[in-house]
Amino acid sequence: MAQQIKRIGVLTGGGDCPGLNAVIRGVVKSASNLYQWEIIGIEDGFEGLIKDKNRPLTQSDIKGILTLGGTILGTTNRGNPFDFVDQDGVKRDLSSVVLENIKKLSLDGLVVIGGDGSLAIANQLYKMGAPVVGVPKTIDNDLSATDVTFGFDTAVNTARDALDKLHSTAESHHRVLVLEVMGRYAGWIALHAGIAGGADVILIPEIPFDRGKVCDKVRRRFQGKAGYAIAVVAEGAKPLGEEVITQAPAGKGRLERLGGIGNRVGNDIAMCMGGDIDVRVTVLGHIQRGGTPSAFDRILGTRFGYEAIELIARGEFGKMVCLKGQDIQSVALEEAVSRMKTVPPDGQMVKTAEALGISFGR
């Protein structure tokens, strides 16, 4: 199969995350060193296949990118070709344009590096005949078909670093400090960062919390010797019987934007502590998406990039590379996009945290 392939494309879709450039580098180096294929970089995700934005990628174009956050190809989370919203707000199905452009560019394979949204698009295009393989990315770590997505480790470390810094000021001022982190509808970042950063309270979407129990925990911290408290709140966390808090509704090809629960939890705690204790809230936001990737994410991204090339070489289209234990494997895109991976509320990680005295507000 390898000898029939001459030219492949690579694109990054959806929100960026640390490690995307490591995958691009892995793709370009493996494809040119092992098979002498030509590589075309598609710019700004699928939009590049609609608006004809692309450029050749050679080894000299990828020099020095391993350490860079973001993606040298650009990305967008608004370029769904099946539901493309143009400037006048009209929705169109432009999938046939994408297929035509794949042909026009003579791409014998296309590596789509993306999260659940981009991989679902990749799967639809594959079913229409496009020679696609997928690489899973997202700081949220919410893709069920892979043990870990790259980007997650760096995001957790960024949140952990923030918690380390918040700790010293919380202790000095005898305050409650609340940190709101990303993760959409999954609590992985909050859970991992909270354990690594020694939080007292971790609130995640998978465990709707009882506001009274959160306050009880904070009160105990002040009644005891500690005299300060740290809470990590996932942006998708919600009190029992309530809905997630959003900053903006879904629309015009965009997903709903979560955020605001950190301030809400901060206000609740301030109220229940009777105004005697200072509470401050930090919303970490897009800092979690940027910066140089951790060694783990660089290695995982590189391994994914190489394996994506091997999938193409073997003609195994419609598949996504994934990490299972220590091994890089692959899974059908169809299966990869069918289920989200959320934190098991009674899993080992949550139980470990609870054994340490961390409260999930339940």
| Site residues for ligand F6P per CB under 6 A | 15, 77, 115, 138-140, 182-184, 235, 257-258, 289
Nearer to ligand F6P, 131 or 194 (CB): 194
> Which positions are annotated as active-site residues?
140
- Return the SS3 of 276: coil
DSSP line for 7-52:
EEEEEE-SS--TTHHHHHHHHHHHHHHHH--EEEEESSTTHHHHTT
Q: Min. distance of Cβ 259 from ligand F6P in angstroms?
A: 8
335: nearest Cα among 141, 96, 136 = 136
Q: Min. distance of Cβ 129 from ligand F6P in angstroms?
A: 29
Tokens read off for 352: 């470990």
CA–CA distance from 203 to each of 219, 251, 295 (Å)?
17, 27, 28
Nearer to ligand F6P, 227 or 253 (CB): 253
Q: Min. distance of Cβ 42 from ligand F6P in angstroms?
A: 20
Q: What angle do CA 237, 242, 244 make, to 5 degrees?
A: 40
H or E element at residue 123 = helix 116-127
Nearer to ligand F6P, 186 or 322 (CB): 186
Nearer to ligand F6P, 108 or 140 (CB): 140
Nearest-CB residue for ligand F6P: 182
Q: Are 164 and 237 in contact (CB under 8 A)?
A: no
Q: Min. distance of Cβ 255 from ligand F6P in angstroms?
A: 7
